[in-house]
Amino acid sequence: MIRPAASGTAPALGAKPKRFRGKSFKEAMEFYVFISPWFVVFVLLGLIPLLYGLYLSFTNYAGFNMDRLKFVGFANYHKVFTDNDAMYSLGRTLLITGIMVPLSTILGFLLAVLLNQNIKNIGLYRTLFFIPSIIPVVAVGTMWRSLFVDDGVVNNALESLGLQPVDWLGYDYAMVPLLIMLLWGVGGGILIYLAGLKGVSKDLYEAAAIDGATALQRFVKITVPLVTPVLFFQFIMNIIGSLQIFVQPILLAANSNSLLSLPIRPNYVYSVHAFQQIFAYGRFGYGLALLWVLFIMILVLTVIVFSTSKLWVFYEVDQEGR
């Protein structure tokens, strides 16, 4: 913060000390006042419930024994790592993340590159590709489920081509409808990618073209490096989102008429396991421990990706020095 070289008036004897009258203090006060709406809501409705949940994860809270809670220490957290279901669901979640994050980041980016052209009706195409990501997820899940049932559109299409129908929602192929459904919404990122792509100065392309660079070279040497901040952002956001995936596997379950429906085993993801433990089994403390472990994992992964970012993310404006 820039300190004023000298303040206008000298303080009188007995007046408030300098630091409560200086411009910087007033600026600081204004800062806090302006963020107070968000901050108050965050503390009251976000931070305090989260910390309360952390406290409950060290007890045997079951929803109705609030008046006689027993402190169980790290037992719930120990259970997270010894429970077969928790580790299995974590594995499935990591698998889905490992497939989805690279695919959706790259596909989203390539889609945005294609939509960055100045051809006729480009606005219409951008809208069409963006719409899937804003449709409410329950509608999306119900729709995709009805497409993939035995007598659904997909199997009918396969049969009309002379191929065998596939049991999409059964054990062997259950992840395919899930991945397709998730990738269908990949256009959601084009908004941010387009903003990043527009930020690349056209002069660079012209200069490269004059020097004889091909379209591919221009893409790889100019576009990609200058868009890495956006790619980095999307990469992190996709990781955070993928690890928390919850509603889509439930919507593909048999009898998916409530949030308590159980997805088929290959789609049994970590958040679903936590939800089941809390709301079907009544093990609130254990469920909260599961969720806090997920939070820690996401935090660690995010820090790791951030620390590697120096190697591959290129900022035009120097990030060092304030």
Partner 1 sequence: MKRAFRSTLLSTLLVSSMIALSACGGNAQNNSASSPDSGSASPSAGASASASEGGASDGKPVVIRHTMYDTEFTSEMVAEFEKTHPNIKVELVSADYNKLMAMMAAGNGPDIIRTNTNELPGYVLKGMALDLTENFNSSSVFHTDDFYPVVNNFRYDVTSGAQGTGPLYGFPKDWSPDFTIYYNKKMFEAAGIPVPSATDAMTWKEIVELGKKLTVANGKKVSQYGLVYFNGSTAANQDLMNLQLLQQGGSMFSSDFSSADLTTPQVKDLLNFWVDAAKSGVGPSPLHQETDWGGQLFVDNKAAMIIAGYWFSGFLKTNELTKDRLADFGVAPAPMAEGGKRISPTAFGTGAVIYKNSKHPKEAWEVFEWFFGGKPAEDRAKEGYGLPGTKTLAAMLPQTTEFDKLNYDFIQNELQYTEGTLPYSPFLNYQAVNSVFEKYFTPVYFDKDTVDGAAQKMTEELNTLIAEGKDLISPE
Summarize as ranges the residues that interact with partner 1 (CB under 8 A): 30, 33-34, 36-37, 40-41, 44, 60, 62-68, 70, 85, 142, 145-146, 149-151, 155, 165, 167, 169-171, 254-255, 257-260, 262, 264-265, 275-276, 279-283
Minimal distance, residue 37 CB to partner 1, in Å: 4
Q: Dig out the tokens for 74 from the structure.
A: 């790290």
Q: How far is the CB of 314 from partner 1 (least distance, A)?
A: 38
| Rg for the chain, CA atoms, rounded | 26
Residue whose CB is less far from partner 1, 18 or 23: 23
229-248 in b/e form (b: 16+ CB < 10 A) is bbbbbbbbebbeebbbbbeb
Instruction: Indicate the residue among 126 and 145 with the shorter CB distance to partner 1.
Output: 145
Q: How far is the CB of 257 from partner 1 (least distance, A)?
A: 7
User: Phi and psi for 120 in degrees, rounded to 5?
Assistant: -65, 140
SS3 71: strand
End-to-end distance of the chain based on CA atoms, in angstroms? 9
- Look up tokens 């901040």; give the residue: 229
Tokens describing residue 124:
């219409």
Amino acid letter for position 251: L
Smallest separation, CB 3 to partner 1 (Å)? 20
> What stretch of H or E contains 79?
helix 75-82
> Which CB atom, from 36 or from 308, has the smaller least distance to partner 1?
36
Between residues 190 and 274, which has the closer beta carbon with respect to partner 1? Answer: 274
Specify the residue, 113 or 137, whose C-beta has the smaller distance to partner 1.
Answer: 137
Q: How far is the CB of 20 from partner 1 (least distance, A)?
A: 16
Query: Per the structure block, which two tokens stand in for 129?
Result: 């590709």
